[in-house]
């Protein structure tokens, strides 16, 4: 059992406020991913949960026990670091045994736990190796093994894949997902990579500038982003935001035509959010739709992304078939799949519902 409860958590370094009051509940066995751009405070928040940095304000409870002043080694939390942080003078076995012995476990229990972890992570053949004799992926597994043998209630993972090459990254990502299924602990995972967030998380916490923008399942964040930040952060290529004004049942772009998108929310001006798969392109300037000019095309094999510029200068991305090739500067008309657009307030960027 591990429930985490963060109440109005604040962090200040000297005179700089880094976290401005974080409220978050994390349930038992949940896989939670903190995601956000660099400097948004996600790693800082993780370090506060670990106890590596002191909390400046607010309360952190683990299973209803206040943890603010409990040292990191007594919180029942284990952490996997971005650089793995293996002890370079100890072999793989010693790296895993070090923390387990400090917990006061018997020799047999330590050995058993290491054997279990080594089997689960395929480290049996590497137990006598020093960290510098391991590849990046192997080091990563040792770092996870070191966390596993302590049988913590909560696992913290700080950008664990960012030092791996692309091929290995997706492989280890699958292993981490499997690991979570097998051991069932609560996991908190920090990344700036939205693909990792989308594929691993039960619950994603999107952070920006020291605040939580939205908490939800990957599907919720993608389908109903709470504001323009989340809307543009989740999804690749990112959602296009267009400033539009209402023109009857249609939406008009300055000097660029108008478009029908289905039911509209109340109000006269707002931001229209278009994901690439909601956008349809038609050759030439004809009929209903927004006039645009193709800028460039990205061919990806199974599909292609076409970027074109609207009359007001906004760059719109559209997903097309791999054979729909548009020449640069070609004139196109943009229409939208009815009901697939998002609407946000022009003032504060909050989501508006039709």
Partner 1 sequence: MPQLRMTGRGLWITALIVPPLAFVALFIVYPIISAFAYAFFDWQGLKRLDFVGLENFHTVLFVEPYRSWTLNAFKNNVIVFFALMVLQNGLGFILAYALWRELPGARFHRIAVFLPVVLSTIIVAYLFKLFYHPLFGVVNISLKSIGLGWLAQPWLGQSGTALGSIIVAQAWHMVGFPTLVFLAGMQRIPSEILDAVRMETESEWVKITKIVWPLVAPSATIVFTLLFVGAFNWFELPYIMGGLDGSPFGSTDVLGLYFYRTAFGNVSAGQQDFGLGSALAVIIFLFIAVVAGVITTRLRAREIQL
Question: Residues in the site for partner 1, rule: CB under 8 A?
Answer: 47, 50-52, 71-74, 77-79, 81-89, 98-99, 102, 130, 132, 146, 150
CB count, 10 Å around CB of 84? 20
* Residues paired with 308 in a beta bridge: 294, 316
211: its two tokens: 């605040």
Nearer residue to partner 1 within complex by CB, 43 or 314: 43
**What b/e string do you get for 320-341 counting C-beta neighbours within 10 Å, with b at 16 or more?**
beeeeebeeebebbbbbeeeeb
Min dist. Cβ of residue 36 to partner 1 (A) = 21
CB count, 10 Å around CB of 182? 9
Nearer residue to partner 1 within complex by CB, 134 or 341: 134
Min dist. Cβ of residue 278 to partner 1 (A) = 43
Directed axis angle between helix 92-102 and helix 136-148, to 10°? Answer: 20
Min dist. Cβ of residue 89 to partner 1 (A) = 4
Nearer residue to partner 1 within complex by CB, 75 or 351: 75
13: its two tokens: 């370094």
Nearer residue to partner 1 within complex by CB, 78 or 92: 78
Of the candidates 279, 277, 240, the one whose C-alpha atom is nearest the C-alpha of residue 259 is 279
Min dist. Cβ of residue 139 to partner 1 (A) = 12
Rounded Cα distance between 231 and 240, Å, is 9
Nearer residue to partner 1 within complex by CB, 52 or 254: 52
* DSSP notation for 272-294: EEE-GGGEEEEESS-SSEEEEEE
Min dist. Cβ of residue 350 to partner 1 (A) = 38
Min dist. Cβ of residue 88 to partner 1 (A) = 5
Nearer residue to partner 1 within complex by CB, 84 or 270: 84
DSSP H or E run through 107: helix 107-120
């Amino acid at each position: 059992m591990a429930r985490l409860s963060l109440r109005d958590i604040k962090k200040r370094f000297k005179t700089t406020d880094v976290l401005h009051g974080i409220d978050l509940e994390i349930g038992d066995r949940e896989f939670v991913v903190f995601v956000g751009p660099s400097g948004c405070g996600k790693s800082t928040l993780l370090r506060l949960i670990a106890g590596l940095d002191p909390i400046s304000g607010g309360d952190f409870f683990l299973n209803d026990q206040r943890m603010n002043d409990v040292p990191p080694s007594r919180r029942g939390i284990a952490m996997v670091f971005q650089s793995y942080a293996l002890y370079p003078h100890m072999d793989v076995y010693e790296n895993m045994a070090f923390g387990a012995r400090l917990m006061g476990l018997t020799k047999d229990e330590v050995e058993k736990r290491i054997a279990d972890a080594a089997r689960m992570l395929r480290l049996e053949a590497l137990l006598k190796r020093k960290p510098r004799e391991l590849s990046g992926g192997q080091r990563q597994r040792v770092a996870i093994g070191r966390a596993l043998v302590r049988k913590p209630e909560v696992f913290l993972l700080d950008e664990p894949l960012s030092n791996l090459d692309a091929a290995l990254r997706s492989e280890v990502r699958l292993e981490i997902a499997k690991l979570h299924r097998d051991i069932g602990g609560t996991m908190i995972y920090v990344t700036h990579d939205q693909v990792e967030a989308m594929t691993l998380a039960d619950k994603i916490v999107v952070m920006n500038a020291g605040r939580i923008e939205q908490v939800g399942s990957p599907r919720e964040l993608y389908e109903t982003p709470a504001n323009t930040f989340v809307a543009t952060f989740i999804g690749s290529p990112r959602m296009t935001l267009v400033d539009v004004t209402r023109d009857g049942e249609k939406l008009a772009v300055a000097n660029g035509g108008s478009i029908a998108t289905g039911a509209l929310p109340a109000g006269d001006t707002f931001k229209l959010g278009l994901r690439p798969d909601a956008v349809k392109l038609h050759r030439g300037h004809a009929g209903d739709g927004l006039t645009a000019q193709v800028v460039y095309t990205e061919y990806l094999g199974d599909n292609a992304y076409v970027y074109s510029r609207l009359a007001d200068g906004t760059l719109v991305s559209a997903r097309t078939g791999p054979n729909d090739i548009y020449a640069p500067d070609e004139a196109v008309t943009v229409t939208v799949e009815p009901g697939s657009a998002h609407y946000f307030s022009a003032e504060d960027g909050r989501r508006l519902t039709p």
